[in-house]
Structure 1
Amino acid sequence: MAVLSVGVVLLVVFGVLGAAVPVPYVAQVPGPTFNTLGEIDGEPIISIEGRDRNDVDGELTLTTVGVSRAGLSLVEAVQGWFDSEVSVVPEETVYPPDRTEEETREANRQAFLTSEEAAESAALAQLGYPVKVVVRGLGEDSPSEGRLEEGDAIDTVEGRPTPDASTLDDVLASIPGGTAVTVGYTRLGEPGTAQVTTRPAEERDGSLLGLLIREQPSAPFDVDIRVEDVGGPSAGLMLTLGILDLVGDTDLTGGALVAGTGTIDPEGQVGPIGGIQLKMVAAADIGAELFLVPADNCADALGAPQPDLLMARVATLDDALEALADVRAGRTPEPC
Structure 2
Amino acid sequence: MKMKKLLISIVILVLLGIASIYIPIPGYMVITPGEMLNTKEMIQVDQGTKSKGDYYITSFEQGPANAISYLFSFTGIIKVEPMPPLDEQKMDVEKGKADLENSKLSAMTAAIRKAGKDVKYEHKGWEVLKDDTKYGIKKGDLLQAIDGISLKSSEEFFLPDLIKYYEKKKVGDTVTYQILRGEETLEVKTKLVEQNGQKIDDLNLRLSVKQKAEFQSPVKVNFKKLDLGGPSAGLMMTLDILDELLPEDLTKGNKIAGTGTISADGKVGIIGGENYKVLSTIDTGVKVFFCPKENAKLAQETVKKYDIKVKVVPVATLDEAVEYLRNMK
TM range (shorter): 0.5 to 0.7
Structure 1 counterpart of 2:227, one-letter code: D
Whether 1:107 aligns to 2:108 is no
Task: Tell me the equivalent position of 1:214.
Answer: 213
Does the 8 Å contact 1:80/1:88 carry over to 2?
no
Q: Secondary structure at the match of 1:283?
A: coil
Give the aligned partner of residue 200 of structure 2: none
Q: State the AA in 2 paired with 1:83.
A: T
Q: Write out aligned runs for 1:175-214 (5 A).
A: 214=213
Aligned with 1:123 (options 86, 111, 114)? 111
Q: Is the 8 A contact 1:133 1:213 kept in 2?
A: no
Give the TM-score of the pair, scaled to structure 2: 0.61
Q: Specify whether residues 275 and 132 from structure 1 end up closer, same or farther in structure 2 by C-alpha distance, changes over 3 A only.
A: same
Match in the other structure for 1:170? none
8 Å contact kept, 1:35–1:60: yes
Take 1:116 and 1:131, find their aligned partners in 2: how far apart are those partners? 15
Deviation of 1:297 (Å): 0.5
Shift of 1:315: 1.0
Q: Amino acid of the residue matched to residue 247 of structure 2?
A: D
Alignment of 1:66-81 (within 5 A): 66-69=61-64, 72-73=65-66, 75-76=67-68, 78-81=70-73
Structure-2 separation of matches of 1:81 and 1:259 = 25
Aligned-pair CA distance for 1:127: 2.1
- Tell me how far apart the structure 2 counterparts of residues 286 and 116 of structure 1 sit (CA, whole Å): 26
The offset of 1:223, in angstroms, is: 0.9
Query: Which residue is equivalent to 2:45?
Result: 48
Aligned equivalents of 2:24 and 2:112: distance in 1? 52
Q: How does 1:1-336 map to 2 (within 5 A)?
A: 22-36=25-39, 38-39=40-41, 45-49=42-46, 52-69=47-64, 72-73=65-66, 75-76=67-68, 78-92=70-84, 97=85, 99=87, 101-132=89-120, 214-216=213-215, 218-305=216-303, 306-327=307-328, 330=329
Partner-residue secondary structure (3-state), 1:99? helix
Once the two structures are superposed, residues 44-68 of structure 1 have per-residue CA deviations (whole angstroms, 9 ceiling, x without a partner) of x11223xx12142100111111111
Q: Deviations over 1:186-234 (max 9, x none)?
A: xxxxxxxxxxxxxxxx967xxxxxxx96234x43221122242201111
For residues 56-89 of structure 1, the C-alpha deviation after alignment (integer angstroms, 9 at most, x for no partner) is: 21001111111113xx24x345313213321223
**Over alpha carbons, which structure has the higher Rg?**
1
TM-score of the aligned structures, taking structure 1 as reference length: 0.60
Q: Give the deviation of 1:251 after TM superposition.
A: 1.2
Query: Structure 1 pair 25/225, CA: closer, same or farther in 2 (3 Å)?
Result: same
CA distance in 1, matches of 2:315, 2:112: 19
Deviation at 1:131, TM superposition (A): 4.1
Q: Secondary structure at the residue paired with 1:244?
A: helix
Distance in 1 separating the partners of 2:299 and 2:238: 22
Deviations 1:14-54 (A, max 9, x none): x89x8568353311111121121x22xxxxx11223xx121
Separation (CA, whole Å) in 1 of partners of 2:217 and 2:120:
10
State the SS of the aligned residue for 2:34.
strand
Which consecutive residues of structure 2, in runs of 5 or more, have no partner in the other structure? 1-13, 123-151, 153-180, 184-210
Q: Distance in 2 between matches of 1:288 and 1:317?
A: 19
**Distance of 1:115 and 1:219 partners within structure 2:** 16
Secondary structure of the 2:323 match is: helix
Percent of residue pairs bearing the same amino acid type: 32
User: Distance in 1 between the 2:77 and 2:277 partners?
Assistant: 10
Cα 1:34–1:21 shift into 2, 3 Å? closer
d(CA) in 2 for partners of 1:32, 1:251: 25
Work out whether residues 296 and 312 of structure 2, in 8 Å CA contact, stay in contact via their aligned partners in 1: no
Give, as a single letter, the amino acid of the residue that structure 1 aligns with 2:45. Answer: I
Q: Give the Cα–Cα distance (whole angstroms) in 1 for the partners of residues 239 and 69 of structure 2.
A: 37
Contact 2:50 2:243 in 1 (8 A): no
Using the alignment, how far apart are the partners of 2:269 and 2:256 within structure 1?
Answer: 18
**C-alpha separation between the residues in 2 aligned to 1:111 and 1:213?**
13
In 1, Cα distance between equivalents of 2:312 and 2:212:
38
Q: In 2, distance between residues paired with 1:277 and 1:100?
A: 24
Query: In 1, distance between residues paired with 2:30 and 2:271?
Result: 17
Specify whether residues 269 and 103 from structure 1 end up closer, same or farther in structure 2 by C-alpha distance, changes over 3 A only: same
Q: What one-letter code is carried by the residue in structure 1 that aligns with 2:102?
A: T
**What is the alpha-carbon distance in structure 1 between the residues aligned to residue 231 and residue 117 of structure 2?**
24
**Root-mean-square deviation (Å):** 3.0
